[in-house]
Structure 1
């Protein structure tokens, strides 16, 4: 099945990419969740607008991405949230929460879709979060979760 991605799918591609996937994966996962649209000749015209929007959001070049990665490594990010007596959170920390905390700490504006939390953050303490800034550059960010 030939599809056009409308959002980033880890391991598959970025918005605007034309991908070939198995029928079940496309029909049961990508299309219902809005991650892709069916490929058509008319759909190829939409690719230009999707890629244009992606380019506006992306960090332009490798040098800028490495500079932002350096800024993120030296940044102290503290997230205040409600927690129980045992140190467990009421809910969990999301990528949107991390993006807002980075901005509040004086860091760069990050797209929440570029932030990857490997295991759910559901307790107080220090946690590591990775940020994919560029296809070749990833940064590791230390996030300190404290009780509010």
Structure 2
């Protein structure tokens, strides 16, 4: 019996996949636990429409992320911090502080977890901080650190 999976089933397949299983397994496990549907022509058509809708939404999210990445190139965030001799900072600037400054100065909601900052900023100057907006899109935010 051909079955369309509604959820990931271990050792069988992923959600939305068409698999061929024995009639008893389909009736007693897959259909009984609502893990899949019988692959009728109506269900197959519904699956195609659902996949088309998901692809459209994914394309829209990708376009939004690309547009946001372009907008980020035009703006910068300025942070002031106390410094010692030679321009060394007392402390450092983390992704949390950058996200807060972006919210206050530019009114941008950027998740601090999306900021790709391997090490906190420990020097005065300009730094380009990558932001993971989408699995395929990475934007850059210009962060300017000044002496207080």
The two structures have a TM-score, normalised by structure 2, of 0.56
Query: For 2:86, what is the secondary structure of its paired residue?
Result: coil
Hey, what does 2:91 align to over in structure 1? 91
Which residue of structure 2 aligns with residue 25 of structure 1?
Answer: none
1:137 counterpart = 2:137: yes
Q: In the TM superposition, what whole-angstrom CA distance separates every residue of 1:55-114 from its partner, at most 9, and x where no partner exists?
A: xxxxx7111111211111100211111111311111111000111121222152000000
Instruction: Please give the secondary structure, in 1, of the residue aligned with 2:106.
Output: coil
Normalized per residue, the structure richer in helix is 2
- Mapped contact 2:95–2:120 kept (Cα < 8 A): no
Give 5+ residue unaligned stretches, structure 1: 1-59
4+ runs deviating over 6 angstroms: none
RMSD: 1.5
The CA distance in 2 between the partners of 1:119 and 1:94, in whole Å, is 8
Q: How far apart, CA to CA, are the structure 2 residues paired with 1:99 and 1:93?
A: 11
The number of residues matched between the two structures is 89
1 CA distance for matches of 2:72 and 2:65? 10
Q: TM-score, normalised by structure 1?
A: 0.56
